[in-house]
Structure 1
């Protein structure tokens, strides 16, 4: 008898319960990551920790290969949310499965922002998604154009001469992302086209046109619009606030913030903005604001922006009303968010000679 051929690649056995756990964990971790990244002043160290855990789970699904699909499909069917959409799209691209990629695009149309699809495109390397993006970004399908320009934004890839056309796209979401991309890439050659978008019929493109002009050194054209969006307090308020501060001279910014402080409705915005000034001498003033329940959230975030190293000290923030005081218990109905403990922050600052 001849010797048996031992040159065989053995595939590791697939344990369904284990694959299911990896699917659930990957979807949950990416959704958690996405939520963290859109908060005001995200904790990038925490995000980096999530990324490592997420990649470990994705590696397990790479090993499982096509055996992952029944669990990914079941997860999306049971809970069709952004994390599950991310995983569906990621696996389709990972396996270069054209049919599944097309399904992911159709599923993404059901979401206003399609974060799951965009997140998967961003997670993959540019060379992996390049053929898809090139096909989508110049196509007739508005949603695919949105995905294409969003992928460029996620990877900071310049679509060159096509970007001017995308800024004028009929689809509002395409225009918005294209304007953001132009500012991110410092496309000064597009200033004229961007300035025209200050009169866009839709607010999101107007905001991103204002933001882009600020990034390109022409923010004086956009200050009024940025301040209006910031004060309105919508989902883009912090983006507008940061751009408004960057767009104007420091003296003008401080005068504007002083006016905002005079009103209880806009005072929290002014306190939050103080952290964007880069002025650490404001610490003593910020500690005083931490003692005011209505301003404490804004004061705490401003403090962390000026002193990011303070994140390492777990004593500086708390949800315990015994530490925060009765005024906070009353203001937040005994359920305060994570707030700065003013006395602890003061002690922390004194130990580091920051209040001299």
Structure 2
């Protein structure tokens, strides 16, 4: 058998344009869905893991396409500049180590109204070795937003920037200062305790929140209880962060007494009901079922139930997204709100593993 003496040329990779477009769209959609589900209270870890599997499959499609994916990524961000589209764009810029496209992603993130979630999500998805060249430049940049990206990258990868963190905790920019305080607590940087404590007097509530949270992590929760209680009781977007910090700071008896005070007002009772779940006390189930029957705390009671009994998620018959199933009072209270509620009668007859309601 004779063989050809000619060397065969490698065949060029053929890119299916429509397939690449679909991969780009699915990456944006799935990551945005993942981010929204991660923000649920409490998040469903199993559902998020399933999204991650699908997301990785579509990221592989973009990896294969390489630079050929750019027309689709650029077009979809231009047409719909939201967090998922920014994630896809920034992820590819990092994947290809494309400095020019990464600079574009940074500017897209700067104009985003959500603290550049998509951009930070892309930084979190890649390994530290991939993003390191960018982060090392960002962490000391003169631009406050870029410093914020640098600190945020350290947070998502639990990386210690060393002596630079002491300066960042005292940064003039409130967003950088808050993120740096959070990182100091996360890393247990006890050497920065005094600097973090100074941030408790900051005019920005987010800085005070993360400084308080960090001090709890550093074992100085007694310095922060008043600020954390104020933030938690206000019921704003950071209420649950403050509540978890309070529970961790303890002592539990004081926390329970404070929650009891919150229960006296319809405005603050949901915060207290939600806090019960953070205490991890399964013996509260009977009490919790009663709260499920009260419209103004029912959503908090459902979230607490899921935190105490995550295995109940598989029992779909225990929950509803239709308040009318619980009667006129619920219909009136929630009106057109989309909300997940537990069905108390069904929860009462449900038997959790290890005992509970019967």
* TM bin (shorter chain): over 0.9
Instruction: Check whether the contact 2:323–2:334 (CA below 8 A) recurs between aligned residues.
Output: no
Q: 2:27 aligned with 1:26, yes or no? A: yes
Give the distance between the partners of 2:294 and 2:184, measured in 1 at CA: 40
Superposed displacement of residue 322, structure 1:
6.1
Aligned match of 2:312: 310
Aligned match of 1:55: 56
Give the 3 Å change call, closer, same or farther, for CA 349–287 of structure 1 in structure 2: farther
Instruction: Check whether the contact 1:152–1:158 (CA below 8 A) recurs between aligned residues.
Output: yes
Instruction: Check whether the contact 1:318–1:324 (CA below 8 A) recurs between aligned residues.
Output: no
Aligned match of 1:89: 90
Superposed displacement of residue 336, structure 1:
5.7
Aligned match of 1:14: 15
Instruction: Check whether the contact 2:89–2:105 (CA below 8 A) recurs between aligned residues.
Output: yes
Once the two structures are superposed, residues 169-201 of structure 1 have per-residue CA deviations (whole angstroms, 9 ceiling, x without a partner) of 111111111111111111112111111110112
61-70 or 239-248, which moves further after superposition? Answer: 239-248
Could you list the runs of 5+ residues in structure 2 that have no partner in the other structure?
Answer: none
Give the 3 Å change call, closer, same or farther, for CA 24–258 of structure 1 in structure 2: same
Aligned match of 1:239: 241
Instruction: Check whether the contact 1:231–1:269 (CA below 8 A) recurs between aligned residues.
Output: yes
Aligned match of 1:319: 321
Superposed displacement of residue 352, structure 1:
5.4
Aligned match of 1:278: 280
Instruction: Check whether the contact 2:94–2:102 (CA below 8 A) recurs between aligned residues.
Output: yes
1:174 to 162, 173, 176: 176
Instruction: Check whether the contact 2:347–2:357 (CA below 8 A) recurs between aligned residues.
Output: no
Instruction: Check whether the contact 2:292–2:302 (CA below 8 A) recurs between aligned residues.
Output: yes
Give the 3 Å change call, closer, same or farther, for CA 164–64 of structure 1 in structure 2: same
Alignment of 1:1-356 (within 5 A): 3-6=5-8, 8-112=9-113, 113-321=115-323, 323-333=325-335, 337-349=339-351, 353-355=355-357
Superposed displacement of residue 57, structure 1:
0.5
Give the distance between the partners of 1:201 and 1:186, measured in 2 at CA: 24
Instruction: Check whether the contact 2:322–2:339 (CA below 8 A) recurs between aligned residues.
Output: no
Give the distance between the partners of 2:138 and 2:30, measured in 1 at CA: 28
Give the distance between the partners of 1:321 and 1:111, measured in 2 at CA: 34
CA RMSD between the two structures: 1.7
Once the two structures are superposed, residues 84-139 of structure 1 have per-residue CA deviations (whole angstroms, 9 ceiling, x without a partner) of 11111111111111111111111111024011111111111100111110011012
Superposed displacement of residue 41, structure 1:
1.5
Aligned residue pairs: how many?
355
Instruction: Check whether the contact 1:275–1:306 (CA below 8 A) recurs between aligned residues.
Output: yes
TM-score (structure 2 length as normaliser)? 0.95
Give the distance between the partners of 2:249 and 2:109, measured in 1 at CA: 35
Give the distance between the partners of 1:34 and 1:322, measured in 2 at CA: 29
Could you list the runs of 5+ residues in structure 1 that have no partner in the other structure?
Answer: none
104-113 or 77-86, which moves further after superposition? Answer: 104-113
Instruction: Check whether the contact 2:171–2:177 (CA below 8 A) recurs between aligned residues.
Output: yes
Give the distance between the partners of 1:96 and 1:35, measured in 2 at CA: 28
Give the distance between the partners of 1:11 and 1:23, measured in 2 at CA: 22
TM-score (structure 1 length as normaliser)? 0.95
